[in-house]
């Protein structure tokens, strides 16, 4: 019976590690997307300023 309890505990630990690794990759992916969006903002603002300054109306 001790073997069964150890097997069940090992299976539970493996399952938890698999679930947490999926959660961690989701969090890291979201943080990466946010960092990329923040890095693009200065270029978008700079492009808008150039468009306004060079507008020939």
* pLDDT digits 0-9 by tens, 7-16: 888 888 888 8
Is a pLDDT exceeding 80 seen at residue 19? no
pTM exceeds 0.85 for this model? no
Q: Which residue has the higher pLDDT, 1 or 36?
A: 36
CB atoms inside a 10 Å sphere around CB 54: 7
Q: Which residue has the higher pLDDT, 5 or 26?
A: 26
- What is the reported pLDDT for 22? 74
CA pair distance 18, 21, nearest whole angstrom: 5
């Amino acid at each position: 019976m001790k073997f069964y309890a150890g097997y069940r505990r090992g299976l539970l630990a493996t399952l938890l590690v698999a679930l947490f690794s999926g959660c961690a990759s989701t969090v890291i992916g979201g943080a990466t997307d946010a960092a990329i969006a923040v890095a693009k903002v200065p270029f978008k603002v700079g492009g808008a300023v150039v468009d306004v300054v060079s507008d020939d109306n």
